[in-house]
Amino acid sequence: MAVRILIDRLLVERGMSVGDFAAAIGITPANVAVLKNGRARAIRFSTLDAICRVLHCQPGDILVWDDGPANS
């Protein structure tokens, strides 16, 4: 699967640190790193909802499908 999560770009655009973001969405900074680094195997809809609420974005702003090789 080659779905990528583009959280880094949105965090920079909004001037938000990983720690502040993690606290705002209710997950650990380590789990944010898992999402950012493409190691996540799944994401709960409640987490996706919190990400979109905090970053004021749509799911399509952070989830993209890439036809290239999947991250390992």
Tens digits of residue pLDDT in 8-59: 999 999 999 999 999 999 999 999 999 998 889 899 999 999 999 999 999 9
Structure tokens, 21? 């973001």
pTM value?
0.84
The CA radius of gyration of the chain, in Å to the nearest whole number, is 12
pLDDT for residue 67 is more than 90: no
Which residues make Cβ contacts (< 8 Å) with residue 11, sequence separation at least 6? 17, 18, 21, 55
Domains of the chain listed by start with CATH number? 3-65 (1.10.260.40)
Query: Confidence band (pLDDT; 50, 70, 90) for 72?
Result: very low
Quote the pLDDT of residue 38: 85
